[in-house]
Amino acid sequence: MISVNKLGIHAGLKKEDFRLIAHGGFNDGMNAYAHSMGWFNGHLYVATTRGNFPLMKKRLPIGLDPWPVECPEDPFDLDLHAEIWRYSPGDDSWERVLKAPTIIGSHGKPIPRELGYRGMLVYQESKHDNPALYISTWSPAKGPGPVLLRSEDGKNFEPSCEPGLIGLPVTTIRTMTEFKGRLYTTPAGSRGGNPNVSAHSIVYESKDPASGQWEPVSDFGFGDPGNKTVFEMVGFEDYLYVGTFNLEGYQVWRTTAEGEPPYHWEKIIDRGAYRGQLNQCVLSMCPFKGALYIGSAIQGGGIDRQNKIGPAPPELIRLQVDGHWDLLVGEARETPDGYKQPLSGYLPGFDNFFNGYFWRMCEHQGWLYLSTFDWSGILGYAQKANWPQPFINIVFELGEQFIMDNQSGFDLFRSFDGENWVPVTKNGMGNPYNIGLRTMVSSPFGLFLGTANPFGPKVMPLGGDRYIFNPRGGCEVFCG
């Protein structure tokens, strides 16, 4: 039952208000990430990315030994075809509505057309058209490039643009947003194992995305070559806001999107809100009660080994339309905009050093919910030769299994005013393998949560000597 006080204010959801409605990666532990979700025509849609750990082992030197899950030498020996699932609340049932088709890659071998689906949005071209569900995709490096899939019935999905959006040499499209009746997106990744850096930081606009017509509406990197990617965007009041990936600290830009493109863009936040490289990218944005909330991250789960940045937990700021900003969660500091201290009283990561991302935000019944990615679940698998001594001391004192049992799993916090935050869960809703809460959707049936859980289908137990089936591996979905 939903609790409402005498003022008509919803009390906010607690951990016990949530019900697990899908587990084990929809009974396939290879479905690692519930990478995007949307509410469309009375149903919940959940799109997955598969085999994240095997793909990481092949492409990224992240220093794990033993590897947490069983991996073949070539991850494409596994079934990496991304999937889309549909949930019917009326009868509490799931149906798989899409499995990525097989294509022939540039190397002449069969590969999935999509490894994952990173974004989802309901968009209506005009008042005379039916709303459609758009899904942004992640293409293998040897594939033709990412597309935006489109569906009007939730069962038949067709590419709405050419690969690479307009033929760009990129591999992923992540974010989409609607603003002033138009659809906006941008590439997010490139070949060579760079799912987060496109080296093509340009915003694209379409008045008719069903026809595949897109045009650039910003200069490259807004004139700053340090902006490697436009990572997040959202419409708020009379402006379209975008957040960038920048090794000197993220930037936030905005435009009214009026006149002839490329539009006039204004920089609002610079150098990671003056925290510098530890606020490497804007990972989440959400309008809430007259302000824009912005969450940060360092790629790689909070540890960017390629650029030797981190580990460091994320921050949360609140931006007003007039350009004034408050530090809500983070490190107190002097800035060109005055002295900033965390109004919530929380240090970065909600006082949790292992939180690497403020991953998603969502408003539901007057509350703002904010989720994290927590990397402590891989601590017991990490090679310790290159660890800082304090980490070795912590693990030696507490033990790897103790950390897994008592620390691991994403955090979910909620706030009614943006300054006072209370935890909903600090242990991945009771599953330490739920290392991140990747997506949230508010609906008439409640708040849906989709997790990132790459510890399947088989896992190496800490201290073990063989891989065993993991019933708690694979993404999970909850409804509150």
pLDDT, one tens digit per residue, over 133-190 is 999 999 999 999 999 999 999 999 999 999 999 999 999 999 999 999 999 999 986 6
d(CA 82, CA 33): 10
> Is the CB of residue 309 less than 8 Å from the CB of residue 301?
no
Residue 265, amino acid: W
Q: What pLDDT score was predicted for residue 3? A: 60
pLDDT higher than threshold 80 for residue 197: no
d(CA 132, CA 120): 11
pLDDT higher than threshold 90 for residue 448: yes
Domain ranges of the chain: 15-479
Q: What pLDDT score was predicted for residue 403? A: 87
Residue 77, amino acid: D
Q: What pLDDT score was predicted for residue 386? A: 66
> Is the CB of residue 184 less than 8 Å from the CB of residue 203?
yes
Whose tokens are 């609340």? That residue is 89
DSSP category for residue 377: G
Q: CA dihedral in degrees (469, 412, 429, 64; nearest 10)?
A: 20
Which of 475, 425, 478, 426 lies closest to 453, judged by CA? 475
pLDDT band (50, 70, 90) for residue 1 = very low
CATH classification for the domain delimited by 15-479, as one of 2.120.10.80, 3.60.15.10, 2.40.340.10, 3.40.630.30: 2.120.10.80
Per-residue pLDDT, averaged over 204-231, amounts to 95
Per-residue pLDDT, averaged over 2-6, amounts to 58
pLDDT higher than threshold 70 for residue 61: no
> Is the CB of residue 388 less than 8 Å from the CB of residue 312?
no
Q: What pLDDT score was predicted for residue 331? A: 98
Give 403 or 373, the one with higher predicted confidence: 373
pLDDT higher than threshold 80 for residue 393: no
Q: What pLDDT score was predicted for residue 419? A: 98
pTM of the predicted model as reported, rounded to 2 decimal places: 0.96
Per-residue pLDDT, averaged over 91-98, amounts to 98
The mean of the pLDDT values for the chain is 93
Q: How far is CA 116 from CA 46, 74, 172, in A?
A: 11, 18, 9
pLDDT higher than threshold 80 for residue 7: no
Beta bridge pairs of residue 65 = none
Q: What pLDDT score was predicted for residue 309? A: 92
pLDDT higher than threshold 90 for residue 362: yes
Alpha helices, DSSP H, located in 399-432: 400-406
10-14, 36-40, 318-322, 362-366: the lowest-pLDDT one: 10-14
Residue 367, amino acid: W
Whose tokens are 């991140």? That residue is 436
